[in-house]
Structures are given as structure tokens and as C-alpha cells.
Amino acid sequence: MRGIAIYEAKARFSELLAAVQAGEEVEITKHGKPIVRMVAVEADAPLNDRKERVTEAFEQLREMRQGFTLDGDIKEIIAEGRR
């Protein structure tokens, strides 16, 4: 997987899209930290395969959030997240 800084990705976006379309994965970073991973869409994948992948992703999210709760007033939590 190729990594590229966000400022460089903006300048070479068409080139990155061509690389992704050719099967390469590209990770875009900001201040050295990954923020986006570009991968080609599997347009030829059967609908059932895509549904299975989505279902699996939701199951993983449910597992990740188990035991995680937010304490406090929801409005305050949202306001803090916006800062």
C-alpha cells in the first residue's frame, strides 16, 4: 500500500485514481497519520457478497462498541466534540 500526504494527494489525484483503479491501495495521511484509504470498488462482486461484507462490518462495529458508554449530557458531549 502506498502512503501519500494530503497536500500531495490533491495535486496528484488523477494519478492516484488510476493507481487505485489498477488495483493498488492508497493511504492518504495528514501530519503523518492515516486519514483515508482509497480502494477500488468491487463492481463485479455479486450482490450477496457485498451484503455479506456490509453485515460483517456492522458486526465488527457492534463488537467494538460493546462496553463503551457515554456519560453525561448528550448536548454537552456533542458540543465538546465540535471544539
* pLDDT at residue 32 is higher than 80: yes
Question: CATH code at 39?
Answer: 3.40.1620.10
To the nearest whole percent, how much of the chain has pLDDT over 90?
41
List helix spans (H) across 3-46: 6-11, 13-21
What is the helix (H) or strand (E) element at residue 38, kind and residue range? Answer: strand 33-38
Residue 52 lies in a domain: yes
> What value does the mean pLDDT take over residues 10-30?
92
Residue 79 lies in a domain: no
| pLDDT of 15 | 93
Total domain count for the chain? 1
Residue 48 lies in a domain: yes
What's the one-letter identity of residue 35? I
Residue 33 lies in a domain: yes
Comparing 33 with 45, which gets the higher pLDDT?
A: 33
| pLDDT of 44 | 61
| pLDDT of 80 | 86
Q: What domain range is 12 assigned to?
A: 2-65
C-alpha dist (Å) from residue 70 to 45, 75, 78, 80: 38, 11, 11, 12
Q: What is the mean pLDDT of the chain?
A: 87
Q: Is 39 helix (H, G, I), strand (E, B) or coil?
A: coil
Residue 60 lies in a domain: yes
Residue 80 lies in a domain: no
Residue 83 lies in a domain: no
